[in-house]
Amino acid sequence: MTVTDASALVDRLVAVVPDFPKPGILFRDVTPLFSDSDAFAQVTAALSEPFDGAFAAVAGIEARGFALAGGIAIEQGVGVLTVRKAGKLPGEVLSESYSLEYGEATLELRPAQLPAGTAVLVVDDVLATGGTAEATVTLLERAGYEVVGVAVLLELEGLGGRDRLASRLPVHALATAPA
């Protein structure tokens, strides 16, 4: 499996849905890729490939990142950390808020699930402005982990996501597309 093959799968199986969830947004629907067992296995392998051997846990961002993290975790023999939307985790949580186009969002993580210094790879389906991934990296670092990189299926161009993250850590995208 080469990155080119994985990119072709992302291009072929990620559907483009105009005006969802609101007018003007081109939504990238990864569910056709997730439901194709061969494609899912190949894409999750290619997603983590540049970091394989360098991480001991994979952090998935709610919700589509959870599926990707699960696939990588089984293949690489590592654990999963779930980075959740506000209000879903019981007990003590670390919270990180960030700006959206309109308003704010908050992500949460349970602290102390793995030893401080554990190397963690962050995964999600789509990188747009990078706010979600940046808040996730900040949360994981606040929890004491060492974040080795961010891996996404699809990077939307022209929204600044890569620039926002690149000074902090490597960003791996299987495919790119206009926003």
Active site members = 64, 101
Helix (H) or strand (E) holding 94: strand 94-99
Question: Residues 6 or more apart from 19 whose CB is under 8 A from it?
Answer: 25
| Least distance CB 77 / ligand AMP (angstroms) | 26
Tokens standing for 62?
A: 């709610």
**Is 95 an interacting residue with respect to ligand AMP (CB under 6 A)?**
no
Ranges within 152-171 binding ligand AMP (CB under 6 A): 161
**Is 69 an interacting residue with respect to ligand AMP (CB under 6 A)?**
no
Question: Residues 6 or more apart from 125 whose CB is under 8 A from it?
Answer: 28, 30, 64, 65, 68, 152, 153, 154
| Least distance CB 35 / ligand AMP (angstroms) | 16
Cα(9)–Cα(11) distance, integer angstroms: 5
**Is 127 an interacting residue with respect to ligand AMP (CB under 6 A)?**
yes
Secondary structure (3-state) at 155:
strand
| Least distance CB 126 / ligand AMP (angstroms) | 4
79/160 with CB nearer ligand AMP: 160
69/128 with CB nearer ligand AMP: 128
**Is 64 an interacting residue with respect to ligand AMP (CB under 6 A)?**
yes
Report the residue count for the chain.
179
Identify which range of 42-50, 106-114, 126-134, 138-146 contacts ligand AMP by CB under 6 A.
126-134
Alpha-helical runs (H) found in 49-130: 64-76
Residues at the contact surface with ligand AMP, assessed by CB under 6 A: 25-28, 61, 64, 124-133, 161
